[in-house]
Amino acid sequence: MTTPFSITFNPDPLWVGLAGPVGGRDTVVIQLDINVDATGALHGSITNVHRTLRDRDTGQILGDVIDSGRFLYNGNTPCRVYDPLLLYGHENLTNASTFLPDNQLGFQRRPAILSVDVTIVDTSGGTWTISKSVAWELVPAPTPRSPVNTTVRQNDPASGCAFDSIHGYGLVLDLSWDPPAGDVPVTHYGLNVFDGAGRRLSAFPSVTFDPDTAAHRKRVVLCNAHIDAGAERGATWAVTACLGSCVVESDFGVARFDFQSCRDAGVPACQP
């Protein structure tokens, strides 16, 4: 007999992201919609959702959670709550008020498989269990390509900035990177640059990825800026890949480089 209900995931497969600062991005971020639909005129109510996350290579169970309904939505004036699968034949479990998702489910940053079993009682009293699985993949970090282990000039006329007696011609950084490995649907890249004292330089916007040009690079010009004496060595820059509206991001790819002394880098000299 054909099951009168179906389950889908959005997205499928699922890319798992990380949140946190450079060097400490250790919070797992999951954005997954679980949708249940009636495939015909027969509707029903969800009574149970069982989710199991397994390591894809070893089969080890990482998380096993059972949620028992009722799975209701708030609102729908004049009612305070309502059952969307029963009324409309569609339910997004993410929005159900009594669904208590443990989003991470013990995810260990290794490829995993989420299996979901949804039990439904239909309006005629029949009970159905529908099942579906979705792959989980951690978004790989981009790889910095340049500058890496090199020295970047300060007070560089190539910036196009007007000369300033304090900052010289400012800073020019030509950043480039390799995209994450695999077929990752990247929409933006986020950039950060820090001097050798760990202070973040400003004016580093996210970079929209254009798949038609596939340009993984960005020139950043900072006029009226220089790196203070003593903070030139041990500078770092970091790049992260993000998906969609950047709710899900990769870890940072981080590279080290040095700045040349502002005073030594040009004629006329700036005065750091």
Q: pLDDT, tens digit, for every residue of 56-87?
A: 999 999 999 999 988 998 875 666 788 999 99
Is the predicted pLDDT of residue 272 greater than 80, yes or no?
A: no
How much is the pLDDT for 254? Answer: 97
pLDDT(212) > 80: no
User: What's the pLDDT at 75?
Assistant: 72
Asked if residue 211 has pLDDT above 60, the reply is no
Cβ neighbours, 10 Å, residue 212: 5
What Rg, from alpha-carbon coordinates, does the chain have? 26
What is the domain class of 143-259 according to CATH?
A: mainly beta
- What would the mean pLDDT of 113-118 be, rounded to a whole number? 98
- Percent of the chain residues topping a pLDDT of 70: 93
The band of 42, judged by pLDDT with boundaries at 50, 70 and 90, is very high
Alpha carbons 150 and 55: distance in angstroms, whole number: 40
Average pLDDT over residues 93-119: 92
Tens-place pLDDT, residues 146-172 = 999 999 999 988 899 999 888 889 889
Enumerate the β-bridge partners of residue 29. 17
Mean pLDDT across 245-261: 93
3-class state of residue 207 by DSSP: strand
What is the mean pLDDT of the segment spanning 115-142? Answer: 96
Residue 269 CB partners (closer than 8 Å, separation 6+): 155, 168, 262, 263
**Contact, 252 vs 236, CB < 8 A?**
no
Domain boundaries along the sequence of the chain: 5-138, 143-259
Per-residue model confidence (pLDDT) at position 101 = 84
Q: Which CATH number fits domain 5-138: 2.60.120, 1.10.287, 1.10.760, 2.60.40?
A: 2.60.40
